[in-house]
Amino acid sequence: MKTMPATIASKNFGNYLDTVQREPVVITKKNRPVAVTYSIERARELFNLELEAGIQKGLADVEAGRTFEATPEFIKEFSNDLKAKYQKK
């Protein structure tokens, strides 16, 4: 995995994009890593892996009985809880 300062990536954007196609690039700012960029192909692979893992977890939850019915009452209570939690005071 290559590391590149943000200023260099910005000034040499074409080179940066070419590099990302070959390998992930860690972008740094003030010598601290702030981002990792991947090619679109690798990003799709990672997304699909996460999606598949989430589906498997959901199926395991169903099989283990860790489910509940989203009744209108539940949805209303859940919505009110979220509003109370995140409403500005």
- By DSSP bridging, strand 32-37 and strand 2-5 are unpaired
pTM: 0.66
pLDDT digits (tens, 9 = 90+) for 54-63: 999 999 999 9
d(CA 51, CA 73): 29
Domain assignment of residue 59, given as a range: 42-86
* Total count of domains within the chain: 2
Looking up tokens 């940066």 gives 16
Q: Both 29 and 12 in a single domain?
A: yes
Within the chain, which residues score under 50 in pLDDT? none
Q: Both 13 and 28 in a single domain?
A: yes
* pLDDT at residue number 23: 97
d(CA 7, CA 48): 32
